Homo-oligomer: A and B are copies of this chain.
Amino acid sequence: MALTLRSSVWSITVAALVLVAFAHSTQADPLPSWQDSDSKTRIVDFVESVTDPESDSYITARDRVAVFDNDGTLWAEKPIYFQLLFAIDRLQKMAKEDPSIASSGALKAAVEGDLEALSASGHEGLLEIITVTHSNISAEDFTEEARQWLEKKHPETGLRYRDMVYQPMLELLRYLRDEGFQTYIVSGGGLHFIRAFAEEVYNIPPNQVIGTTLKASYQMVDGEPAIMKEGQLAFLDDKEGKPVAIDTRIGIRPVIAVGNSDGDFQMLEWSTSAPGASLGILIHHTDGEREWAYDRDSAVGSLERGLDEASSRDWLLVNMEQDWEQIWPVQP
C-alpha cells in the first residue's frame, strides 16, 4: 500500500514534469518553420504583449481579430490565381459542349489556355471568365466541384493545389488561435471557392471566410430550396473593399492584418491606424528557388505602395527566403 502510494506520487510527479516541459517547449517555439530572425521575434513579442493582462498594450479576447489575405499570403498564386485555373478548366469543359461560349478575347484566350493573353485582358477579362463559369450552379455544387479540382496537381511543383499553402502561415494561424485570436480570411478570391478548402486546410470555418461574392438567389430546384450562384458581381473584396467587408462581416477593427500585395494596402492601413497596439504584416515573395520571386509590376500579386511605405508605417515585411525555413507543409 505504501509502495503503491509512493509510486503513484512518483508517476504523478513525472507526468507533471513532462507536462511542464511540453508546455514550455510549445511556448518556446510556436512557429517552428520560421527562422529565428527579427520577423519571428517581432510577431511573438507582439502576441505576448497584447495577450498579457499586465501589459499596457493588452487586448481583450473580444477584440483579438486577425485578418489574412489568401492568394500569395496563405497559399501560392503563380502562374496565376488558382481560382482562375479552376475557372479555365471549367470553361474549357463548357466550350466543348458549346463552342460559342468563347465570345470575347478573354474567353477565347482562356479556352485556348493562353494565360499570357488572358493576363493582358486585365481585371475585366478575369471577371468575365469567373462570371461565365460561376453561374447557374448551386453554391453547394460549386463548392464540391472546387473541392475535387483542388486535388489536381500544380504543373510546376507537382503538389496538389490544396497543399500549396505556406507551412509558416499554417503555424501562425494556429498560434494566433491558441492565443485567443479569431482568424479571418479576407480575400479578393471567391467566397465559395475558398470555403472549399479553408476549413480542412486552414481550420477556418465558413463564417470566417470573407471573399468576393457574386449575386445569388434563393430558388426552388426540383422541389428543394437552393442558393443559386448568378454571374454578376455583388461585391469585389479587394483594395478599399476589404475594410468595408471587414466592417460588414466582422464589425470589429482587426489588430493584426496580413497581406502580400497592394490589394491588401487598405486592409493593413485600416487595421493599423486605430489607437492601440496593432501589427501589419506583408509577405514579400523573395524566394525564386523554393517559390516565386516577385513584387513590383507583377501581373498577379503586385506589391509597390506596400513596399514603399512598409517602413514608414512600421509594417513588418516578411522575407520569404530568409524568414521561412520551410515553405510547403508536404515535400514536393
Contacts and interface: CB of A to CB of B under 8 A. Distances in A.
A239 to B, nearest CB: 8
A243 interface: yes
A283 to B, nearest CB: 22
Given A205-B62, A218-B270, A266-B218, A249 B247 contact: no
A225 interface: yes
Contact of A270 (B191, B225, B251, B270): B225
Given A205-B62, A218-B270, A225 B251 contact: no
Contact of A251 (B206, B216, B243, B251): B206
B225 A244 contact: no
B191 A248 contact: yes
Contact of A247 (B227, B241, B266): B227
B270 A216 contact: no
A244 B266 contact: no
Interface in A53-83: 62
Interface in A194-219: 195, 205-207, 209, 213, 216-218
B218 A251 contact: no
Nearest to A267: B218
Given A224-B273, A243-B227, A269-B225, A216 B248 contact: yes
A306 to B, nearest CB: 16
Contacts of A216: 244, 247-248
A139 to B, nearest CB: 6
Contacts of A218: 240-241, 243-244, 266, 270
Nearest to A250: B207
Task: Work out how many copies of this chain go into the complex.
Answer: 2
A252 interface: yes
A141 B234 CA distance: 26
A67 to B, nearest CB: 12
B249 A249 contact: yes
Contacts of A207: 182, 207, 249-252
| Residue with the highest number of chain B CB atoms closer than 10 Å, among A139, A207, A240, A270 | A207
Contacts of A234: 235
A249 B209 CA distance: 8
Interface string A272-302: 0100000000000000000000000000000
Question: Would you list the 10 A-B pairs with minimal beta carbon distance, nearest first?
Answer: A206-B251, A218-B240, A227-B247, A218-B243, A207-B250, A216-B244, A225-B270, A218-B244, A139-B247, A218-B266
28 contacts: A62-B205, A139-B247, A182-B207, A191-B248, A195-B251, A205-B252, A206-B252, A207-B207, A207-B249, A207-B252, A209-B251, A213-B248, A216-B244, A216-B247, A216-B248, A217-B240, A217-B244, A218-B240, A218-B241, A218-B266, A218-B270, A224-B273, A225-B243, A225-B269, A227-B243, A227-B247, A234-B235, A249-B249
